[in-house]
Structure 1
Amino acid sequence: MGLQENLLRGIYAYGAQQIEKVMRALGDYLGVKVHACVGGTSVREDQRILQSGVHVVVGTPGRVFDMLRRQSLRPDYIKMFVLDEADEMLSRGFKDQIYDIFQQLPAKIQVGVFSATMPPEALEITRKFMNKPVRILVKRDELTLEGIKQFYVNVEKEEWKLETLCDLYETLAITQSVIFVNTRRKVDWLTDKMRSRDHTVSATHGDMDQNTRDIIMREFRSGSSRVLITTDLLARGIDVQQVSLVINYDLPTQPENYLHRIGRSGRFGRKGVAINFVTRDDER
């Protein structure tokens, strides 16, 4: 398993565990049993829990298919199947696993496909595995996030970004924030620069092992770390309600990722702010 693939599996496992917590909270007074099936955990424990009976299974494609294959997860008892973050998973190499899961499901099942963007791969799933689906599409020019104020700072040159960033943190009262850059190397560079100026920051990227990333995210979620520097790869995996500010130190290379980045602020109906650093090269 390559480093990138391993990282992606870790991100989706983290996302599944977050959704599991939400589902548990929603079903707390209804006696709803929820279980997360993700890689890196005990297969036997998954089998034991599933065989004892659960109402909702939240999982990553590989482990869910494995449970179907082992018949610990019985397709004939599944009434609804939801594929979240469809565009991201299909573009990141999970297409075959997702197709395998669909082929195990009964014909009469309710299917929901959710995606911030709807590329051809996601539309293909609706044609192949859904019966007369209802499509709710947001026009591209309407694709924005309410409640998040967006600003840009014309920094002119790349080398002026660091001073601008430090000025912001010295003048603004910020609860928690996420800073996005475009490369792992730049995550390390910016982290060192900020720490050398006595700013307390955390950083996470794909060169770190899953356990290290989990520890960093726990610290950030608890509030013991207030600034997180990261890359696009983790843009969808950060779900912390205290985040009030997102800074795009580098503008994303893919336009769709802009929405995922700034969507890390203003969670759960709260207000948020996004600040974009723009150089002359970005304007071209």
Structure 2
Amino acid sequence: MPIIRGNDVIAQAQSGTGKTATFSISALQKIDTNLKACQALIVAPTRELAQQIQKVVVAIGDFMNINCHACIGGTAVRDDMNALREGPQVVVGTPGRIHDMIQRRVLRTDQMKLFILDEADEMLSRGFTEQIYDIFQLLPQSTQVNLLSATMPQDVLEVTTKFMRDPVRILVKKQELTLEGIKQFYIAVEKEEWKLDTLSDLYETVTITQAVIFCNTRRKVDWLTDKLTARDFTVSAMHGDMEQGQRDVIMKEFRSGSSRVLIATDLLARGIDVQQVSLVINYDLPANRENYIHRIGRGGRFGRKGVAINFVTADDVRMMREIEQFYSTQIEEMPMNVAGKCPSQVYLRSRPYMLIAQQISSKQPHLYTSRCGLRLQLPITVQG
């Protein structure tokens, strides 16, 4: 394995195929258990992902006497300082808090052997870039650098030349990035305001183990949560404006299964592993192609089956076509007999008023029957 051999590595793999376990094992192989100092630093874009990685490292290193600390924002700075002074061999954290701890000189870097960026494309293409560069400048020159993600755009690969030494590249062809176990569908919706009724009918029609509904903004997450709650649907919501304690409670409830439907921004799209998720709904199509793969990858974890449903307005057609073309995949119109196409975790109950797209013929517009009995004719033709 290139990481164990000491090479800088850029590694890419589909969502839910074990990247976290792979780099955790590699990091632990390089640790001197007798040395009470940070030897491996793992940086992730979100607090939830950092906490998840810490749990994986602790579980794998259970019999190695390894100390791993999660250093994330939203928690007490003094607690981090006290934990870091004890010399954990592995530190996992978010860029802001990691940088702060290094600046305060409580996170020492002189014994650092390994620097790992998880979800590297997110870290190097968004607002984290400057903090990542600052952290890197404070590491020993001998530190091995490893980047991992399900998506690795060309512009990110070009950035890596600034701080990596002849890295070994393990990349996946873009047409192989979509997970075979995830069936992808779209529902054509003429107007944005009709999405809520569409989702309500879908919610009443599909019995699921667990689902994630993605929106593009925090405001939309709050709005949709309020609207569904007002219609007596039980949902949870999570986004970056929430306090860390609240986010922890929501994630704990969702992982345990006591909460079955979670509405979220792309905060939850990266790396979060809840293996019972069988359905992903894109209430809004993501603004970029990379986030689409990360979103639908919340279902179908570790070879399980899953379903992704995309709500598509006329304005979304071009983006959906770009996604299909870029990943050489096909997003099918959601059929009336969707139950026969879904995995065993997703069940469809017959409802006469479902807002499911029904194409009468290739030359005719789409027709819907709404929950209130209205026949809605859509002027857009989404298929080819």
* TM-score, normalisation: structure 1: 0.85
Letter in 2 for 1:41: T
Corresponding residue for residue 209 of structure 1: 243
Deviates more, 1:39-48 or 1:93-102: 39-48
Distance in 1 (CA, whole Å) between partners of 2:226 and 2:259 is: 15
Corresponding residue for residue 41 of structure 1: 75
Distance in 1 (CA, whole Å) between partners of 2:243 and 2:85 is: 32
Distance in 2 (CA, whole Å) between partners of 1:43 and 1:185 is: 29
Corresponding residue for residue 57 of structure 1: 91
Checking the alignment, whether the CA contact within 8 Å between 1:11 and 1:237 is kept in structure 2 is no
Measure how far apart 1:121 and its partner are.
5.7
Distance in 1 (CA, whole Å) between partners of 2:74 and 2:128 is: 17
Match of 1:173 among 191, 207, 226: 207
Corresponding residue for residue 331 of structure 2: none
Cα-to-partner distance string for 1:80-131 (whole Å, 9 max, x where unaligned): 1101122212333222221122112222222101133334663344212221
Letter in 2 for 1:88: E
**2:253 equivalent to 1:229:** no
Cα-to-partner distance string for 1:187-234 (whole Å, 9 max, x where unaligned): 233223322332111122344333333332232222222111122344
Report matched runs for 1:97-246 at 5 Å: 97-119=131-153, 122-236=156-270, 238-246=272-280
Deviates more, 1:242-251 or 1:267-276: 267-276
Letter in 2 for 1:244: S
> Are the structure 2 counterparts of residues 208 and 104 from structure 1 closer, same or farther at C-alpha, using a change threshold of 3 Å?
closer
Cα-to-partner distance string for 1:130-179 (whole Å, 9 max, x where unaligned): 21111222233333123222122233443443333223222322011011
Deviates more, 1:49-58 or 1:63-72: 63-72
Corresponding residue for residue 26 of structure 1: 60
Checking the alignment, whether the CA contact within 8 Å between 2:45 and 2:95 is kept in structure 1 is no
Letter in 1 for 2:101: M
Letter in 2 for 1:251: L
Distance in 2 (CA, whole Å) between partners of 1:37 and 1:281 is: 41
Corresponding residue for residue 249 of structure 1: 283
Instruction: Count matched residues.
Output: 276
Distance in 1 (CA, whole Å) between partners of 2:82 and 2:229 is: 46
Distance in 2 (CA, whole Å) between partners of 1:132 and 1:142 is: 25
The structure that is helix-richer by fraction is: 1
Corresponding residue for residue 356 of structure 2: none
Corresponding residue for residue 14 of structure 1: 48
What SS is found at the alignment partner of 2:146?
strand
> Are the structure 2 counterparts of residues 120 and 283 from structure 1 closer, same or farther at C-alpha, using a change threshold of 3 Å?
closer
Corresponding residue for residue 4 of structure 1: none
Q: Computing the radius of gyration over CA atoms, which structure comes out larger, 1 or 2?
A: 2
Corresponding residue for residue 294 of structure 2: 260
Checking the alignment, whether the CA contact within 8 Å between 1:12 and 1:237 is kept in structure 2 is no
Distance in 1 (CA, whole Å) between partners of 2:210 and 2:58 is: 26
**2:304 equivalent to 1:270:** yes
> Are the structure 2 counterparts of residues 47 and 213 from structure 1 closer, same or farther at C-alpha, using a change threshold of 3 Å?
closer
**2:121 equivalent to 1:87:** yes
Checking the alignment, whether the CA contact within 8 Å between 1:24 and 1:32 is kept in structure 2 is yes
Deviates more, 1:88-97 or 1:173-182: 88-97
Checking the alignment, whether the CA contact within 8 Å between 1:35 and 1:56 is kept in structure 2 is yes
Checking the alignment, whether the CA contact within 8 Å between 2:44 and 2:118 is kept in structure 1 is no
Distance in 2 (CA, whole Å) between partners of 1:170 and 1:252 is: 25
Checking the alignment, whether the CA contact within 8 Å between 1:14 and 1:237 is kept in structure 2 is no
Deviates more, 1:247-256 or 1:63-72: 63-72
Checking the alignment, whether the CA contact within 8 Å between 2:216 and 2:284 is kept in structure 1 is yes
Measure how far apart 1:274 and its partner are.
0.7
Distance in 2 (CA, whole Å) between partners of 1:57 and 1:205 is: 24
What SS is found at the alignment partner of 1:190?
helix
Distance in 2 (CA, whole Å) between partners of 1:38 and 1:105 is: 19
Q: Taking every aligned residue pair, what percent have the same amino acid on both sides?
A: 70
Gaps (5+ residues) in structure 2? 1-42, 319-384
> Are the structure 2 counterparts of residues 228 and 108 from structure 1 closer, same or farther at C-alpha, using a change threshold of 3 Å?
same
Gaps (5+ residues) in structure 1? 1-8
Checking the alignment, whether the CA contact within 8 Å between 1:37 and 1:46 is kept in structure 2 is yes
